Structure 1
Amino acid sequence: MLRRLLTPRWLGALALAALYAFGAYQLGHWQYGRHEFKVERNALLDAHYRADPVPATTVLDDDPVDRAKDDWTRVSAEGRYDGAQVLVRNRPNNNVFGYEVLAPLVLADGRTVVVDRGWVPNSERGASVRPVVPEAPAGEVSVVGWVRPLETTQRKTLPEGQVASISRPDVERAWGREVLDGYLVLDTERAADGSTPARPQPLERPDRSLGPHQAYAFQWWLSMPVGLLLIWLGIRRELREEIPGRPAKPKKVRIWDEEDY
């Protein structure tokens, strides 16, 4: 069997089997990496999502949010909404597309935090028509929410008051002011008199599913020796067919051939 394996035909098959095994290992490693990423994300959510809020400025500043440490940190902030609300276009919420509503919250020190107040559906007249959006409350407000990193700008030209992503250049251009590098997904919002203002629909909770990545990783790794197994079976079959005196395999007679007799 070893001598047969060293023939050009089977050496080529062996090379293909080795290439497949290498590719299967890499794909399995990639899938397992995706699984580990989601496990770490869930651990971060467990630590942050229902924790007592900390002041927003202990997490948000002029540097990007540290995804590995500060993403989904629950924070609180006090200030005034100062500026028109901006709509983020083409955003899903519970599998329906609409807009996320951003408002600029100016803190006591003059810095501005981007607050995602929630979601509204598209107007019945189409995505290019501004839907009815609950106004941001006037006066002092106290907000509690979760810190998220800002997104990459998509550099799209949209109607006034709309942006394509929650990116620093887009919101700063829309409001004409600098903002802290990160934004706050609103959980609760209270006015100075203790009332709860009307707001857009809350965003759906973060996805905690692990998905099938771990199973896919094991499937790829278990398939690594398939090529070698096929080679062994192929060589074994060839050698058996070359045994002297081995009866020939009977020829299969098709039904329509039998009808000719």
Structure 2
Amino acid sequence: MYRFLLTPRWLGILALTLAASVVMVMLGNWQLSRYQDRSAINERIDAAARLDPVPLTDVLTPPATAGTVGPAPHPDAAWTRVTVTGRYDSANVVLVRSRTVESRVGFEIVVPLVLADGTAVLVDRGWVPPAPGGAAAQPELPPTPEGEVTVVGRMHLSESMAGSVSQRDGRIETRRIGVPELAAELPHPTYGAYLLVDEQTPAADPAFTPIPIRHENNWQNGGYVVQWWLFAGMALVGYGYVARREAHTRSGKRRPRGDRLEVAAVSPPVAGSRD
């Protein structure tokens, strides 16, 4: 009944079905790994919020010479709360353009915080709106604190695909916060990650909007896992259904046509005929 499955046509269909199912299972496994990675990031964010800050040098290796950047921290160290004391370098403020906070486009203001040993760590002080004239208009900057400042902040890894760093009206501008790219523009050896301000002493200027720390959308990846694995199962079930229907179709075509009762054997005699 199912001998037709061994024909080249049906063997080819089976091979394609199995290949598609394997690919979909692998895509589901990849989404599962993404779900696990993002879940781990969310756990680190939540855990860091509950812990006391640690000194910056407990997490980051100091850089060497001016224009260079220190080693990047291990990804597991991201979002660690650290504390550091230094002086803001107001001559090297970095404007990070086209940044969205609360559905508004503006600038994040990043300033090197120079430590007592001459090294610096980039500190994202917060978000400000652009000046009147459009989203690209350079903002009015809140004043940079003079003297010694203590910052408690979340450690953020350098952003990927940072692109070029430019100068406009005497200010450093960039689209993304790439620590190595910015370090090349600064006169200080720079640590390999930057900080998002949680607290500052003296207090941060209220003109800044704090940068929100967003949790990763891990449930989206979890949904994709279920989706791909369901598709893989549906492909196999679909092959079985089509094969079964084909088998029944072929069986019906081969059914004998002479299995009816002979009508003449049971029909009544015609009037006038002899027994």
Q: Does TM, scored on the shorter chain, surpass 0.5?
A: yes
Matches within 5 A, 1:113-152: 113-152=121-160
1:155 maps to: 164
Counterparts in 2 of 1:174-253, with a 5 A limit? 174-191=185-202, 196-242=204-250, 243=252, 244=255
1:255 corresponds to: none
1:187-232 Cα offsets, whole Å, 9 max, x none, are 11112xxx55445110112225422222221222133232332232
Alpha-carbon distance change, 132 to 162 in structure 1, aligned in 2, over 3 angstroms: same
d(CA) in 2 for partners of 1:196, 1:223: 52
Segments of structure 1 that go 5 or more residues without pairing to the other structure are 247-261
Q: CA deviation at 1:117?
A: 0.3
Query: Superposition RMSD on alpha carbons, in Å?
Result: 2.1
1:88 aligns with 2:112: no
Q: Which residue of 2 aligns with 1:9?
A: 9
Q: Distance in 1 between matches of 2:5 and 2:56?
A: 67
Q: Which residue number corresponds to residue 55 of structure 1?
A: 55
8 Å CA contact 2:31–2:224 kept in 1: the answer is yes
Counterparts of 1:134 and 1:157 in 2: how far apart (Å)?
21
The answer as to whether partners of 2:164 and 2:174 remain within 8 angstroms in 1 is no
Total equivalences in the alignment:
242
| Unaligned residue ranges in structure 2 (runs of 5+) | 62-69, 258-275
Instruction: State the Cα deviation string for residues 57-115 of structure 1 (Å, max 9, x = none).
Output: 211222101112x1111011111112332111111212322111001111112211110
Deviation at 1:236, TM superposition (A): 2.4
- Which deviates more from structure 2 when the two are superposed, residues 173-182 or residues 116-125? 173-182
Structure 2-normalised TM-score? 0.80
| Larger-gyration structure (1/2) | 2
Instruction: Name the SS for the 1:102 alignment partner.
Output: strand
Sequence identity (%): 36
Task: Determine the C-alpha separation between the residues in 2 that align with 1:156 and 1:7.
Answer: 63
Q: Taking structure 1 as the reference length, what is the TM-score of the superposition?
A: 0.84
Query: Does the residue aligned with 2:71 lie in a helix, a strand or coil?
Result: coil
Inter-partner Cα distance in structure 1 for 2:238 and 2:204? 68
What is the one-letter code of the residue matched to 1:13?
Answer: I
* Deviation sequence 1:103-159 (CA, Å, 0-9, x none): 111111221111000011223212442111212111111111111112243125452
